[in-house]
Amino acid sequence: MSPRPSIDHIRRPQILAAAAEVIVERGVAGTRIADVAERCGVSPPALLYWFDSKEQLLAEALTVDDDRFYEELEARVDGAAAPGERMVALIETATESADDFALWMELWTWALRDADLRAARERFDARWRAAIEAIVIDGVATGEFGAADPAQAALAIAALIDGLSAQAALGDPEVTNPRLTETVLASAERLLGAELPAGAGGRASP
Amino acid sequence: MSPRPSIDHIRRPQILAAAAEVIVERGVAGTRIADVAERCGVSPPALLYWFDSKEQLLAEALTVDDDRFYEELEARVDGAAAPGERMVALIETATESADDFALWMELWTWALRDADLRAARERFDARWRAAIEAIVIDGVATGEFGAADPAQAALAIAALIDGLSAQAALGDPEVTNPRLTETVLASAERLLGAELPAGAGGRASP
Amino acid sequence: MSPRPSIDHIRRPQILAAAAEVIVERGVAGTRIADVAERCGVSPPALLYWFDSKEQLLAEALTVDDDRFYEELEARVDGAAAPGERMVALIETATESADDFALWMELWTWALRDADLRAARERFDARWRAAIEAIVIDGVATGEFGAADPAQAALAIAALIDGLSAQAALGDPEVTNPRLTETVLASAERLLGAELPAGAGGRASP
Amino acid sequence: MSPRPSIDHIRRPQILAAAAEVIVERGVAGTRIADVAERCGVSPPALLYWFDSKEQLLAEALTVDDDRFYEELEARVDGAAAPGERMVALIETATESADDFALWMELWTWALRDADLRAARERFDARWRAAIEAIVIDGVATGEFGAADPAQAALAIAALIDGLSAQAALGDPEVTNPRLTETVLASAERLLGAELPAGAGGRASP
DNA sequence: TATGAATGAGAGTTCATTCAT
DNA sequence: GATGAATGAACTCTCATTCAT
């Protein structure tokens, strides 16, 4: 019917990507529609043609990338056969891009007062913990890991990564990126009662 | 000299406390001077009589309570003689009030774009990790703990608490307060290579 | 390109004219954005759509009319062939609208503390003196005037007009408009060592 | 009756002097009560103990020095016996302190919209012109000056000084202080049909 | 689809002024 | 006489949003 193909699938992602960039730079609170519009090279009202309101746009921008992250993660992790190797791959993937964590922190803070964002975050975190737990269960099954409670170990590892990533994102001089990865790997070994293989990135050897 | 006694030792803390309350309720971004003023029962300009600007007031409100927290913490922890007991006391203190964590999350998010807040957060975190590390060192010295690297263990425990507290503050159904404390304690045992005594709060028994 | 034709060539002059009117009525210090907006029949933010700030708007309003004044002046003066006639035309043009002088006085006072306005005023005054001086030089060349120093005579005539116009604008009963013109003409004759022809407005005869 | 001598005669002049200073620096519009208070080393409410309102204080500050100026002027001028010498003394006195003229310009601008200030200014100007006119009349009587209309000559000389002083106060590079004095003296000679003696300050000789 | 123009609803901040002390 | 504290009344400016084009 419509001879002109819709550009929905082009414009919306473009706007969301621009919004995510602006949020990282200025924070959700400091992001104005005009900033995002300028980055897209369009006028502010154009954004409101594609999104009902600023709030809706930012909420979507805050969550749109996460699914992609998990897909990439799973692709990388599944390549490794043994649970130990998969765990190392997962940790390295999660810790090597601590800068993106700023967006995650924004989501947290906003989720404190927005039920939809809260639900979205919870969904992502459940998926994340499930991915970890699956590896732990496998490792326990093969005897590679000695953890008694896979769910608790997964929770702990996930929280550890979050806590350290936040500090890295905040530029804490004690938590550089290598130190972050190293600390998570060493802690995971203790939490899992396992010795993990050296990762792709290499690890400080004794 | 002054025909009227100064009340700044009363008003300023009062305003800061009100500001902290409002921040927890509405977030830093959603906090208006008028909200804080109303909670104090004064007019908005009265706040600007005591603080140079809204920004300065909120920044101070975001950090003013932390020192008090550490003082209380140290008081409680020092009461326990053995490192294991002190560690348990510390963990319980840190995890039982996960609600206050919202303020800490606001501080994080604001600190992403404010150097002063970033420095303040770093200072607090350094103090916090040092408190943990001191216990670890003691525990290692007495042989109670088996941790090889006290600094790394302290960093891991601190991050674990942060990561879990964030989820608890966000109302994650998987991370209730008891589960939070329990997970940190169990993980600390593994990270420290130690068995920790049951805390004052009691712990889920098998 | 633009789905709606730009109207900045209409709105900006309209706003500037309204601002000049309000300044004459209330002074720069007493002029509020809301006053100007009301006179334009728009809302206050509309002015900030066209001008970056109140300050910028008022500064422009204070200077925008001057170029037009000089163009009109030159048009009128050039119509007169002989130097004496041109001088009379210039003096009459400059003195017959002493009411507008209030805007010029506002510009002076504001220029005391604003380098841009100071520079603008200086530019206008230089142009004004140059216009006078050109006539004097002509008059001296033709022998119609006897002035020794054209630059000094031009400066004196310009200052005389300013000083008297200020008093007229302030409603000094000794300096009515006719008396103002008459005084400048009589003084100019002495300053230029010339007898000036009767102007269009006529002059008080004995 | 009152054992404590009033300090009216100390405080009020002190405040007025401080106000005049601040006005010269920041302009009437930019002068806040707090500025004046700070310069006096007292608190803002103290000023309102001595003056009913800011407006009244500034109005008084704007006019309080003028009487003193005329008294000083008359003292200096009366010392010179011959009309020509008195005229030179008057002109030199009026033109050598062009910086103070900023206060006079502020008074003008404020007087545009304040009847009291307008009346005050008019009174000062009448006195000023009368002082000039008296000399002119004397000079005409002695035959030293050739002016036909003393009132008009006085008006012209006064206006000339005003116009040039304004430009000097505005920092016009063409109107330096020496050039100002020189131009007024040279113009006065022509306006008065007289040759004026060299002044105390010296004058450019041919 | 998209824009120029405009607006309404605030928000922070300023400041003369008040008043108990 | 003078001050600390506080306030009411403005005022500028911001920004998401609307709407005719």
The residue behind tokens 């507008």 is: C100
- A31 Cβ partners below 8 Å, 6+ apart? A19, A22, A23, A58
Query: Residue C202 pLDDT > 60, yes or no?
Result: no
| Predicted local distance difference test score (pLDDT) of residue C203 | 44
Cα–Cα distance, A129 to D105 (Å, whole number): 76
Cβ–Cβ gap A121/B152 under 8 Å: no
* Residue C98 half-sphere exposure toward CB, CA atoms < 13 A: 25
C10 touches strand E (CB under 7 A): no
The distance (Å) linking the CA of C33 with the C1' of F13 is 11
The answer to whether the Cβ–Cβ distance between A113 and B30 falls below 8 Å is: yes
Task: State how far the Cα of B180 lies from the Cα of D99, in Å rounded to an integer.
Answer: 74
Q: What element of type H or E holds B6?
A: none
How many whole angstroms separate alpha carbon D31 and alpha carbon D16? 13
Which of D:61-90 have CB within 8 Å of C? none
pLDDT tens digits for range C162-191: 999 999 999 999 999 999 999 999 999 999
Average the pLDDT over B179-197 and give the result.
Answer: 96
Residues across chain D: 206
Residues D111-123 as b or e (16 or more Cβ within 10 Å = b)? bbebeebbebbbe
Q: Mean pLDDT for chain D?
A: 91
D positions 139-168 inside 8 Å of C (CB): 149, 152, 155-156, 158-164, 166-167
> What is the distance between the alpha carbons of residues D99 and B166, in angstroms, rounded to a whole number?
65
Q: Whose structure tokens read 């979050």? A: A162
Q: Kindly state whether C38 is in contact with chain D, defined as any CB-CB distance less than 8 angstroms.
A: no
Q: Is B171 helix (H, G, I), strand (E, B) or coil?
A: coil
What is the longest distance spanned by two Cα atoms in chain B?
Answer: 68
All residues of chain A having their beta carbon less than 8 Å from the beta carbon of residue B122 are: 170, 172-173
At a CB cut-off of 8 Å and minimum separation 6, what does A134 contact? none
pLDDT for C50? 97
The share of chain D scoring above pLDDT 70, in percent, equals 93
Determine the residue of chain A that is closest to B159 in CA distance: A163
- DSSP track, chain A: --SSPP-HHHHHHHHHHHHHHHHHHHHHHH--HHHHHHHHTS-HHHHHHHSS-HHHHHHHHHHHHHHHHHHHHHHHHHT--SHHHHHHHHHHHHHHTGGGHHHHHHHHHHHTT-HHHHHHHHHHHHHHHHHHHHHHHHHHHHTS---S-HHHHHHHHHHHHHHHHHHHHTT-TT--HHHHHHHHHHHHHHHHT--PPP-TT-----
Are D166 and C167 an interchain contact pair (Cβ–Cβ within 8 Å)?
A: no
- D99 — contact with chain C (CB < 8 Å)? no
DSSP assignment, residue D100?
G
Which window residues (36-95, chain C) lie with Cβ within 7 Å of strand E? 42-46, 49-50
pLDDT value at residue A2: 41
Tell me the per-residue pLDDT of D156-178, one tens digit each, with 9 for 90 and over.
Answer: 999 999 999 999 999 999 999 99
Distance between CA atoms of residues B77 and B90, nearest Å: 6
Q: Is the minimum distance from the CB of C48 to strand F below 7 Å?
A: yes
Cα of D55 vs its chain's centroid, Å: 21
Per DSSP, D170 falls in state T
CB-contacted nucleotides of strand F (7 Å):
1-21
One-character DSSP codes across chain C: --SS---HHHHHHHHHHHHHHHHHHHHHHH--HHHHHHHHTS-HHHHHHHSS-HHHHHHHHHHHHHHHHHHHHHHHHHT--SHHHHHHHHHHHHHHTGGGHHHHHHHHHHHTT-HHHHHHHHHHHHHHHHHHHHHHHHHHHHTS---S-HHHHHHHHHHHHHHHHHHHHTT-TT--HHHHHHHHHHHHHHHHTS-PPP-TT-----
- B194: which DSSP letter? S
Dump pLDDT digits (tens) for D82-121. 999 999 999 999 998 777 899 999 999 999 999 999 999 9
> Helices H, strands E: what count in chain D?
9, 0
D204–chain C Cβ distance below 8 A for any pair: no
Q: Per the CB < 8 Å rule, is D29 touching C29?
A: yes
**Range with the poorest average pLDDT among C202-206, D6-10, D13-17:** C202-206
Mutate to test the interface with A, among B26, B116, B162 (most CBs of A within 10 A): B162
Question: In whole angstroms, what is the distance from residue D133 CA to residue D138 CA?
Answer: 8
Q: Are A200 and A89 in contact (CB under 8 A)?
A: yes
* CA dist., res. C16 & res. C14, Å (int): 5
C-alpha to C-alpha distance for D83 and D90, rounded to whole angstroms: 10
Q: Do D183 and C118 touch (CB under 8 A)?
A: no
pLDDT at A204: 41
Predicted local distance difference test score (pLDDT) of residue A6:
63
Structure tokens at C116: 């841009």
> Right CATH number for C62-192 from 3.40.50.10470, 1.10.357.10, 3.40.50.300, 2.60.40.1120?
1.10.357.10
- Which residue in the set A105, A112, A161 is minimally distant from B112, CB to CB? A105
* Percentage of residues of chain B with pLDDT beyond 90: 79
Give the nucleotide with minimal C1' distance to the Cα of D50: F1
The single-letter DSSP state of residue B16 is H
Give the residue, D172 or A71, on which the prediction is more confident: D172
Contacts of A186 in chain B (CB under 8 A): 149, 152, 156
CB A136 within 8 A of CB A193: no
In this predicted structure, what is the pLDDT of residue B200? Answer: 64
Q: What CATH architecture applies to the domain B1-52?
A: Orthogonal Bundle (1.10)
Q: Which residues of B touch A172 (CB under 8 A)?
A: 122, 125
CA–CA–CA angle A114, A118, A124 (5° rounding)? 150
Which residues on chain A are in Cβ contact (under 8 Å) with B22?
none
Six-digit token string for D183: 């131009």
Write the pLDDT tens digit of every residue in B158-170: 999 999 999 999 9
Range scoring the smallest mean pLDDT among A39-48, B142-151, C41-50, C120-129 = B142-151
Contact B183 A152 (CB under 8 A): yes
**Ranges of each domain in chain A:** 1-52, 62-192
pLDDT digits (tens, 9 = 90+) for A124-143: 999 999 999 999 999 999 99
Which residues from C are below 8 Å from D183, CB to CB? 152, 155-156, 159
Q: How far is B167 from chain A (nearest CA, A)?
A: 8
Cβ of A40 less than 7 A from strand E:
no
- Whole-prediction pTM: 0.91
Query: Which among D206, D165, D167 has a CA at the least distance from the CA of D184?
Result: D165
Please check whether residue A156 is in contact with residue A192, taking contact to mean a CB–CB distance below 8 angstroms: no
Give the number of other CB atoms < 10 A from CB of residue B24.
Answer: 17
Q: Does B170 touch chain A (CB under 8 A)?
A: yes
Query: If you average pLDDT over residues B24-41, what whole number do you get?
Result: 97
Give the end-to-end CA distance of chain B in Å, rounded to a whole number.
68
* CB < 7 A to strand F: residues 43-102, chain A: 44-45, 48, 53-55
pLDDT at D2: 44
Q: Strand F and chain D: which residues 19-58 have CB closer than 7 Å?
A: 42-46, 49-50
